[in-house]
Homo-oligomer: A and B are copies of this chain.
């Protein structure tokens, strides 16, 4: 049996660098726990001379990662570049074809090419591990694949994007605008300085939802028409209004099986302040699973940053070193089924609406008429006049409203000349 494992680390950004140090510092611990010796024999990075906490040894550095596979005997490869395609996909593909185990935190790659890559891993009898792609340090994928292995999971939801959660929490606490808080998040390293878009528009959370669905329900990764909304349009005003109604706004990722159909979505939600999920603040991530017979399980932890991510990458490494050769998605590719996608137009749910209107007689009546036309009934309504501007904010909590109807209703509001801004719609959870 092979007791020495050669390792390559591709990408030496924040995560790759942290991992590289961990691999070197924990050699003895790993030997204790697995009986296996590891050696980092190759690294690759776009910019060799970037400032790092360690000096790169020339003997193990390759500017082209594909060279590594040709020139060195590698057993396990870490992909820490992070693209959904291009060199990230190429190096993972090449590694698997050469019977090299792959570990990656890359949710973009897995949520796009996971089906293909897992098939490749199975065919070549190596592992493709991606624990770090969802929930940072929370071992959520391992928990679904192993800890809750024989449960019938019906729903998984949670706070999957630490950046969005930090921004929403901070807006509430500081009463600052989205723009101001985003700048702070960027200066603290919680949001990408260049392009925070994928965190804020729901894309990052949706990639994680797709991975969670596949593992929980044993289906192929969906590429359906989905409901993906981010937090870019949330104003402090909304946070303030819902606060008075005892709610908080959270960006949730949700996946569930409804009538044997898969319903995946990411959007801001109004959650009650006294619920568990309403109290997960800051950069924390939390995942809640509903399963039988286990009941409700909750996992919470730091969702981002090189420390937690590295913890997850190392757990994948130990799993491989212990000889746990496993299907990347828990069951064989052949047994993973395509599921029917739930038609979002059939979805009914209470809504929060905020309309900015001209403050004059008859406006409220035209609004309630429009709501009634689309079968949307009002549960609570608050009118907040701004006397200086002669405008008012009208905040409405509705009873269950059909998604298609509410789309049509919002469209009709946009045509209403007394409504002076595009309406805000947030779903209740």
User: Which residues on A are within 8 Å of B, measured CB to CB?
Assistant: 18, 22, 26, 29-30, 32-33, 35, 131, 137-139, 142-143, 146-151, 276, 279, 286, 291-302, 306-308, 310-312, 314-315, 317-319, 322-326, 330-332, 335
Contact = CB atoms under 8 A, between A and B. Distances in A.
| Of listed A150, A295, A310, A311, residue having the most chain B CB within 10 A | A150
B150 A22 contact: yes
A139 B147 contact: yes
5 contacts: A22-B150, A30-B150, A33-B331, A137-B295, A139-B146
A142 B322 CA distance: 14
Contacts of A151: 311
3 A-B pairs with the lowest CB-CB distances in the bound complex, closest first: A139-B147, A293-B307, A298-B300
A302 B29 CA distance: 33
A311 B331 contact: no
Contacts of A322: 324, 326
A312 B146 CA distance: 10
A330 B139 CA distance: 16
Contacts of A302: 294-297
Contacts of A30: 150
A301 B148 CA distance: 12
A332 B318 CA distance: 15
B147 A142 contact: yes
A294 B307 contact: yes
* Number of this chain's copies in the complex: 2
B308 A146 contact: no
B279 A26 contact: no
Given A33-B331, A146-B318, A301 B298 contact: yes
A225 B407 CA distance: 66
Contacts of A147: 131, 139, 142-143, 312, 315
A336 to B, nearest CB: 10
B279 A295 contact: no
| Of listed A146, A298, A324, residue having the most chain B CB within 10 A | A146
Contact of A32 (B33, B137, B300, B331): B331
A400 to B, nearest CB: 29
A30 B286 CA distance: 28
A324 B291 CA distance: 24
A362 B216 CA distance: 67
A194 to B, nearest CB: 25
Nearest to A303: B295
B137 A294 contact: yes
A185 to B, nearest CB: 18
A191 to B, nearest CB: 19
Contacts of A319: 146
Contacts of A296: 301-302
Contacts of A32: 331-332, 335
B139 A143 contact: yes
Given A22-B150, A149-B33, A138 B297 contact: yes
Nearest to A152: B29
Nearest to A308: B294
A324 B325 CA distance: 9
A295 B314 contact: no
A193 B335 CA distance: 46
Contacts of A139: 143, 146-148
A294 B298 contact: no
Contacts of A143: 139, 142-143, 147
